[in-house]
Amino acid sequence: MVQLIARTSTDLPPDVRTAMGLALKTEEPATRAGQALTIIAQNIDQAASCEGPICQDTGMPTFEVKVPVGVNQIWMKQQIKNAVAEATKRGKLRPNSVDSITGENSGNNLGPGTPIVHFEQWERDDIEVKLILKGGGCENTNAQYSLPTELDHLGRADRTLDGVRKCILHAVWKAQGKGCAPGAVGVCIGGDRTSGYLHAKEQLFRTLDDTNPDPRLAAIEDAVMDAANLLTVGPMGFGGQTSLIGCKIGALNRLPASFFVSVAYDCWAFRRLGVTLDASSGAIRAWLYREGDAPSVPMLTPEQLAAGFPRTGREIHLRAPITDEQIRSLKVGDVVLVSGRMYTGRDAVHAHLMKHDPPVDLRGGVLYHCGPVVAKQNTPGAPKPSGEGGWTVTAAGPTTSIREEPYQAEILKRYGVRVVIGKGGMGAKTLAGLKESGGVYLNAVGGAAQFYARCIDRVAGVSLMEFGTPEAMWHLDVTDFPAIVTMDAHGNSLHRDIEEASGVKLEAARV
Ligand code: SF4
C-alpha cells in the first residue's frame, strides 16, 4: 500500500501523460497556454525522477478495494491507514486531514472520513486496490445539477441526454482555471445526491482513452470533448485550445421525481493507479493502468527538461520589496520572474491577519497562496538542501486563490502587500483592492509543485506553525519564480476577460 500511494502521488499514469502530451503539441509554445503546459510537462518529469509529489495538494486518498469472500476488511482497512500515515511521514502525502470544527491538522492524514476506503466483494481470489488522489482545488469545482434547470449561456437543460451535455459543459466553463485546467470530468446521470457524486468520482477510475460501452453515453462524451475544447478556457484558464482531457459518464437509476447530473472535476494532475495483490501474502502481483514496473516514458527530452522555463526575453524581473511604481508599470499578460523573499499564506493565515498583525513586515512584500509539502529531513532526490530549522520544501505549487476573496483586499490595504501569487484568479473585490492599494495578482501554474520547489533557494523561517505545515506562514527565498500578471493595478483581469469570452463561445453549444 505504501508503494501504491507513493507511486500514485509522484508518477502520472500513461493515459494521462498521453493526453497531456497531446495538449502540449496542440498549444503554441510561445503562448501563455504553451508556457504553462511546458512547466506542467517539466513538473511531471521532475516529480517522477525525484519521486516527489506531483502537486503539493496530494488530495483526499480514495481507495476502491475488491476482495475475495472471507477477507478480513477490518484488518485490511487498518493496513491502508497505516500505509497512509507512513506515506505522509515520507513526504509522499501532505498532511491534509483537518478537524472540520477546530481546523486542527491530524498530521498523518488520518481522521474521521480520511482516508476514504470502499470495499466490494468479488469472485476472484486476488485483491484489487485502486487509488485516486484528488486535490481540493478541483474538488471545489465539482458541480451537481437538478434537472430541468436554466444555465448561463446555455438556456434550459431538460431531462434529456442533451440536458446532461449542457450541464457538463456548464461545469467545465464554470471551473475556468480554478481546478487547474486542462482537467477531466467524471459524470453520473441519476442516482440521488450522494450516490450521484460517488458514481461520478468512480468514473475517474476509467482510463482517458477507453470507449464507453453504452453508445448513447459514448456519443455524449465525444460531444462534450469537442465542444469543451472550443471554449478556449485553456490551460490554467489562460486561454487556449485545451480545456478538457477526458469526459467519462455513467448512469444510475433515479427516483421519478429527481434527475441529478453530478460532475466530479479532476485536474491535469490526475493521480490514479492501482494494483492487484496476492490475497495470502499481500505482495503486488501486477500494476493497473501501467505496464509493469518499468519507468514512465518522459514527457520531454533531457534537453527540453534542462532548458527550464521557456523564456522569450520579455520577462520582467521583480525583487521584493517592490515599489508602487514598479507595480503600476505591470499589466495583464506580463510574464514576471520573482526573486527575493516571499511568504506563504492560505486560509488560516488570511483569517488570522484579519484579527492580528502579521508576524513579519509585509510592506512591499509577496504573499504566496501555497500550502507546501515540507520535510524535516533531506528527502532522497529532493531539489534543494535544507533551510532554516532543517526544513526542506519538497513541493510548492499555488493553491486556489478565490477562497481568500473575502480577505485579500483588506490585507493588501492594511499591510502593504504588493504581489499576491496564486492560481485561478480572484474576484471583483480583490481587483478593486489591487487598484486602490497598488498591487498585482500573479497566476502561477497550478499543480507545478516540483517545478516551483526548484525555484526555492532556502527556507528562511516559518511563523504560525500552530496552524500545521500546509497552513503555516513559510518564509521562502526564491530566484526567478515565473508567473503571469493576470490582474493588474489598473482594473484589468485576464480571468474576467476569459470567462466572458468563453461564455460567448459556450452559447454556440446551446444546440
Ligand atoms: S493540480 Fe491544482 S487542482 Fe489539482 S491537486 Fe494540484 S492544486 Fe489542486
DSSP 326-361: HHHT--TT-EEEEEEEEEE--HHHHHHHTTS--SS-
What pLDDT score was predicted for residue 377? 62
373: helix, strand or coil: strand
Contacts of 122 (CB under 8 A, 6+ apart): 66, 67, 68, 128
- Report the residue among 9, 16, 132, 180 best suited for mutation to probe ligand 1: largest number of ligand atoms under 8 A from its CB: 180
Strand order in the sheet with 116-122: 116-122, 60-68, 127-134, 271-277, 284-288
Q: For residue 56, report the distance from its CA to the centre of ligand 1, in Å.
A: 8
Closest CA to 23 of 162, 160, 184: 184
Atom number, ligand 1, closest to the C-alpha of residue 55: 6
C-alpha cell at 41: 510537462
pLDDT over 70 for what percent of the chain?
98
Residues with CB under 6 A from ligand 1: 55, 57, 59, 135-138, 179-180, 267, 269, 397, 446-447
Q: Which three cell numbers stand for residue 35?
A: 508556457
Give the global pTM: 0.93
Which residue owns the Cα nearest ligand 1 atom 6?
447
Distance 285 CA to ligand 1 centre (A): 30
Contact 346, 465 (CB under 8 A): no
Q: In which band, very low, low, confident or very high, does the pLDDT at 338 lie, cut at 50, 70 and 90?
A: very high
Would the pLDDT of 35 be above 80? yes
Long-range residue pairs from 286-295, CB within 8 A, at least 24 positions apart, any chain: 288/128, 288/130, 289/13, 289/14, 289/15, 289/207, 290/13, 290/14, 291/14, 295/48
Measure 58 CA to ligand 1 centroid, in angstroms: 8
456 and 269 in contact (C-beta within 8 Å)? no
CA distance 104 to 342: 25
DSSP state letter for 391: -
Reported confidence tier of residue 286, pLDDT bands at 50, 70, 90 = very high
Residue 163: closest CA among 230, 261, 262: 261
Closest ligand 1 atom to Cα of 447: 1
- Would you say residue 380 has pLDDT above 80? no
- Cell numbers at residue 79, please? 493496513
Question: Taking 70 as the threshold, does the pLDDT of residue 478 lie above it?
Answer: yes
Q: How distant is the alpha carbon of residue 354 from its chain centre?
A: 27
Q: Cα–Cα distance between 394 and 387 in angstroms, integer?
A: 12
Separation CA 320–CA 338 (nearest Å):
8
Rounded distance, CA 22 to CA 18, Å?
6
Q: Measure 400 CA to ligand 1 centroid, in angstroms.
A: 8
Preceding omega of 470 cis (within 30 degrees of 0): no
pLDDT in tens, 177-234: 999 999 999 999 999 999 999 999 999 999 999 999 999 999 999 999 999 999 999 9
β 473-487/335-344 pair status = antiparallel
For 76-123, what is each residue's pLDDT tens digit?
999 999 999 999 999 899 999 999 999 999 999 999 999 999 999 999
Which atom of ligand 1 lies nearest, measured to the CA of 399?
7
Q: How much distance in Å is there from the Cα of 226 to the middle of ligand 1? A: 24
Maximum Cα interatomic distance, the chain, rounded to a whole number of Å? 71
Task: Give nearest CA residue, ligand 1 atom 1.
Answer: 447
Give the Å distance between the CA of 379 and the centre of ligand 1. Answer: 22
* Of the candidates 121, 96, 120, 93, the residue with the CA atom closest to the CA atom of residue 106: 96
Q: How far is the CA of 306 from the centre of ligand 1 (A)?
A: 24
Which ligand 1 atom is nearest residue 136's CA?
Answer: 8
Query: Comparing C-alpha atoms, which of 392, 342, 389 is closest to residue 370?
Result: 342
Which residue is listed with cell 500513461? Answer: 14
Per-residue pLDDT, 386: 59
Mutation choice for ligand 1 from 62, 138, 140, CB with most ligand atoms inside 8 A: 138
Q: Is pLDDT of 402 > 90?
A: yes
Binned at pLDDT 50, 70 and 90, residue 384 comes out as low
CA 269 to ligand 1 centroid distance, Å: 6
On whether the CB atoms of residues 300 and 17 are closer than 8 A, the answer is no
Q: Which of the four pLDDT bands, split at 50, 70 and 90, describes residue 388?
A: low
Which mutation among 43, 55, 272 tests ligand 1's pocket best, with the greatest number of atoms within 8 A of CB? 55
pLDDT (tens digit, 9 = 90+) per residue, 413-429?
999 999 999 999 999 99
Contact 444, 455 (CB under 8 A): no
Rounded to the nearest angstrom, the distance between the alpha carbon of 258 and the centre of ligand 1 is: 32
At residue 225, φ and ψ (nearest 5 deg) are -60, -45
Q: Choose the residue to mutate in 10, 12, 39, 57 for probing ligand 1, maximizing ligand atoms within 8 Å of C-beta.
A: 57
> What is the pLDDT, as a whole number, of residue 308?
84
Please report where in the chains the cell 488570511 appears, as a residue.
350
Q: How far is the CA of 137 from the centre of ligand 1 (A)?
A: 5
Tell whether the model's pLDDT for residue 376 goes beyond 90: no
The verdict on whether omega for the bond into residue 115 sits within 30 degrees of 0, i.e. cis, is: yes
Residue linked to cell 492560481: 423
Nearest to 470 by CA among 398, 411, 364: 398
From the alpha carbon of 58, which atom of ligand 1 is closest?
A: 5
For ligand 1, the distance from its centroid to the CA atom of residue 59, given in whole angstroms, is: 8
Handedness of CA 224, 299, 445, 95 (dihedral sign): positive
CA-to-CA distance for 91 and 376, rounded, in angstroms? 10
**Which grid cell sits at 88?**
505522509
Residue nearest to atom 4 of ligand 1 (CA): 267
Of the candidate ranges 36-45, 90-99, 238-247, 386-395, the one whose mean pLDDT is the lowest: 386-395
Distance of CA 396 to the CA centre of its chain: 12
Nearest CA to ligand 1 atom 7: 447
Atom of ligand 1 nearest to the CA of 134: 5
Residue 405 CA, ligand 1 centroid: distance in Å: 19
pLDDT confidence bin for 381, thresholds 50/70/90: very low
Nearest to 268 by CA among 47, 494, 501: 47
Set of cell numbers at residue 200: 461520478
Specify the residue with its C-alpha closest to ligand 1, atom 5. Answer: 135
Mean pLDDT of the 461-488 span: 95
* Centre of ligand 1 from the C-alpha of residue 180, in Å: 6
Residue 378: what pLDDT? 55
The angle at the Cα of 392, spanning 388 to 393, to the nearest 5 degrees, equals 120
Whole-number Å distance between alpha carbons of 274 and 7: 10
Q: Which atom of ligand 1 is nearest to the CA of 179?
A: 3
Q: Which of 12, 62, 238, 267 to mutate to test the pocket of ligand 1 (most atoms within 8 A of CB)?
A: 267
Give the count of alpha carbons within 13 A of 5, CB side only: 26
pLDDT above 90 covers what percent of the chain?
Answer: 90
User: How high does pLDDT run on average in the chain?
Assistant: 95
257 or 295: which carries more pLDDT confidence? 257
Average pLDDT over every residue of 235-241: 96
- Give the Å distance between the CA of 425 and the centre of ligand 1: 14
Distance CA 274, CA 494 (A): 39
Q: b vs e for 362-398, b when ≥16 Cβ sit within 10 Å of the residue's Cβ?
A: bebbbbbbbbbbbbeeebeebbbebbeeebbbbbbbb
- How many angstroms separate the alpha carbon of residue 446 from the centre of ligand 1? 6
In angstroms, the Cα distances linking 12 to 9, 163, 294 are 8, 33, 13
